[in-house]
């Protein structure tokens, strides 16, 4: 395997195309806001929270998700949303990330004082402030920092998830839970398109997240059809805990441009559709389709290892087979706090466990920028990507990397 200097991996320009705002707070900020708002935490020390909540290893997905109940509680005011967004951008820039796509579910933060636009404006303001500050420190020729916001619709929610969901459920007493879920997604899609067309808030895509089992992507077709017809990019969490047909639904029913996770892409035992008789052929056709269409998979190694303990070791992750099949992939964090990771750690984990040549690594990094959902017009994006490549190659020469 190729050995890469630690400083080279730290300094190369990076993207994070899959990072959840509510899973990526600074732990000190979580504690400070909880104290200010008199919110009870299992511990008010970083060490205590890491021991009880934000662990290095988790028994299952439910335990992994426990921390989000705490982080969302401290993100119910605009000033806190702005603060955590600003800090996330600064933390990313510090480790070399130059394009950041922050995703979150606004409906988890809407309440009597915070409308959809107010929630989105607070997050955008924090990211924008960080961009202005960090870009003023750059050297000549160095690619600047930029960001985009991805709006998440939830596959599943309950009334106790937030004030918004509680009110939505209360006024639709005679609707089924599935009806209310579809209704929330479509309303969010309309709000997102309206915001994108009538404000300068940098919304770049629409996403679907939450438990795949029992909550198929096709239930959200109306919402994704709406954003699709309004030229908004789409990424969908799929193949994380469910099988290849979840990924198939994401690209065929929801027009997904990228796939979040895709962990179970190559697993025939995770195909639950009994009508699929030749499972190996189904997977081969799906992989070929993804490859031919350059559908990028947002790979999150650390979080996958934490939520899928059956993998045992990173070397068993499907990233290896993704690389063998020349799929377009980007290495992402998912949740910086919950998974205790950074983009640099994810890249390091990849190159230490898979045979990634300098040419492959460069392609992975550059594809993150090429397949990003940039807020810039396409011609500006092309110029920016060229600047990234030039800077990357300059660092290759400096550290003796033969790409």
Q: Is 0.95 topped by the overall pTM?
A: yes
Counting residues of the chain whose pLDDT is more than 70, the rounded percentage is 100
Of 293, 333, 312, the residue nearest 18 (C-alpha): 333
Question: 320 near 277, Cβ under 8 Å?
Answer: no
| pLDDT, tens only, 204-258 | 999 999 877 778 888 999 999 999 999 999 999 999 878 899 999 999 999 999 9
Q: How far is Cα 249 from Cα 255, in angstroms, rounded to an integer?
A: 9
Of 135, 137, 77, 102, the residue nearest 18 (C-alpha): 102
Structure tokens at 72: 């969302």
| pLDDT, tens only, 349-383 | 999 999 999 999 999 999 999 999 999 999 999 99
Q: pLDDT at position 273, please?
A: 85
Alpha helices per DSSP H over 239-278: 244-252
Question: 201 near 120, Cβ under 8 Å?
Answer: yes
Question: 104 near 22, Cβ under 8 Å?
Answer: yes
Q: pLDDT at position 403, please?
A: 64
DSSP 38-49: T---S-SSHHHH
Cα separation of the two ends of the chain: 14
Whether the per-residue pLDDT at 297 is higher than 90: the answer is: yes
Q: pLDDT at position 45, please?
A: 97
**Which residues does residue 209 pair with via DSSP β-bridges, in sequence order?**
154
DSSP 313-353: SGGGSTHHHHHHTT--EEE--B-TTTTT--HHHHHHHHHHH
Residue that has been written with the tokens 């109940």 in this structure: 69
Of 5, 2, 24, 7, the residue nearest 342 (C-alpha): 24
Question: 347 near 331, Cβ under 8 Å?
Answer: yes
Q: pLDDT at position 197, please?
A: 97
Give 142's contacts (C-beta < 8 A, 6+ positions apart).
391
What is the SS3 assignment for 156? Answer: coil
Q: pLDDT at position 218, please?
A: 86
Q: How far is Cα 264 from Cα 243, in angstroms, rounded to an integer?
A: 6
Query: Domains in the chain, start-ordered, CATH in brackets?
Result: 6-398 (3.20.20.140)
C-alpha distances in Å from residue 259, one per residue of 128, 269, 271, 360 = 26, 20, 17, 20
Question: 302 near 64, Cβ under 8 Å?
Answer: no
Q: pLDDT at position 402, please?
A: 84
What distance lies between CA 64 and its chain's CA centroid?
Answer: 16
Whether the per-residue pLDDT at 16 is higher than 80: the answer is: yes
Whether the per-residue pLDDT at 85 is higher than 70: the answer is: yes
Q: How far is Cα 381 from Cα 366, in angstroms, rounded to an integer?
A: 12
What is the SS3 assignment for 326? Answer: coil
Structure tokens at 64: 């992994």
Q: How far is Cα 228 from Cα 142, in angstroms, rounded to an integer?
A: 34
What is the SS3 assignment for 65? Answer: helix
| pLDDT, tens only, 156-202 | 888 889 999 999 999 999 999 999 999 999 999 999 999 999 999 99
| pLDDT, tens only, 250-266 | 999 999 999 999 999 99
Q: pLDDT at position 59, please?
A: 83
| pLDDT, tens only, 54-64 | 998 888 777 88
Whether the per-residue pLDDT at 80 is higher than 70: the answer is: yes
Mean pLDDT of the chain: 95
**Element holding 178 (H helix, E strand):** helix 177-198
Question: 27 near 54, Cβ under 8 Å?
Answer: yes
Q: How far is Cα 167 from Cα 107, in angstroms, rounded to an integer?
A: 11
| pLDDT, tens only, 324-354 | 999 999 999 999 999 999 999 999 999 999 9
Whether the per-residue pLDDT at 319 is higher than 80: the answer is: yes
Give long-range contacts, CB 8 A cutoff, 24+ apart: 182-185.
Answer: 182/219, 182/220, 182/222, 182/223, 184/107, 184/153, 184/154, 184/157, 185/153, 185/154, 185/220, 185/222, 185/223
Q: What region, left, alpha or beta, does residue 373 occupy, with left being phi > 0 and alpha being psi -120 to 50 degrees?
A: beta
């Amino acid at each position: 395997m190729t050995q890469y200097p630690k400083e080279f991996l730290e300094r190369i320009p990076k993207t994070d195309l899959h990072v959840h705002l509510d899973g990526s707070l600074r732990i000190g900020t979580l504690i400070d806001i909880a104290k200010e708002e008199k919110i009870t935490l299992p511990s008010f020390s970083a060490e205590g929270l890491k021991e009880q909540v934000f662990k290095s290893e988790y028994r299952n997905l439910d335990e992994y998700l426990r921390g989000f109940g705490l982080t969302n509680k401290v993100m119910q005011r605009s000033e806190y949303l702005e603060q955590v967004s600003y800090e996330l951008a600064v933390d990313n820039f510090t480790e070399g990330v130059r394009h950041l796509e922050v995703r979150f579910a606004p409906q988890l933060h809407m309440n009597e004082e915070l409308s959809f636009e107010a929630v989105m404006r607070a997050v955008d303001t924090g990211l924008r402030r960080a961009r202005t500050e960090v870009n003023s420190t750059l050297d000549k020729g160095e690619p600047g920092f930029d960001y985009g916001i991805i709006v998440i619709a939830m596959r599943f929610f309950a009334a106790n998830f937030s004030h918004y969901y509680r009110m939505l459920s209360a006024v639709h007493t005679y609707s089924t839970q599935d009806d209310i879920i579809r209704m929330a997604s479509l309303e969010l899609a309309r709000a997102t398109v309206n915001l994108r067309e009538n404000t300068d808030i940098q919304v770049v895509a629409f996403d679907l997240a939450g438990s795949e089992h029992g909550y198929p992507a096709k239930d959200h077709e109306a919402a994704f059809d709406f954003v699709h017809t309004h030229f908004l990019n789409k990424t969908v969490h799929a193949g994380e805990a469910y099988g290849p047909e979840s990924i198939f639904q994401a690209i065929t029913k929801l027009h997904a441009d990228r796939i979040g996770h895709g962990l179970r892409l190559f697993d025939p035992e995770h195909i639950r559709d009994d009508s699929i008789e030749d499972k190996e052929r189904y997977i081969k056709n799906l992989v070929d389709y993804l490859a031919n269409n350059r559908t990028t998979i947002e790979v999150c190694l650390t979080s996958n290892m934490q939520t899928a303990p059956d993998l045992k070791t990173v070397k068993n992750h499907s990233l290896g087979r993704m690389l063998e099949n020349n799929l377009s992939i980007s290495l992402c964090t998912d949740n910086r706090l919950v998974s205790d990771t950074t983009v640099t750690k994810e890249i390091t984990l990849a190159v230490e466990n898979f045979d990634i040549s300098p040419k492959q690594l460069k392609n992975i990094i550059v594809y993150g920028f090429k397949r990003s959902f940039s807020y810039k017009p396409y011609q500006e994006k092309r110029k920016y990507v060229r600047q990234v490549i030039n800077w990357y190659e300059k660092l290759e020469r400096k550290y003796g990397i033969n790409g």
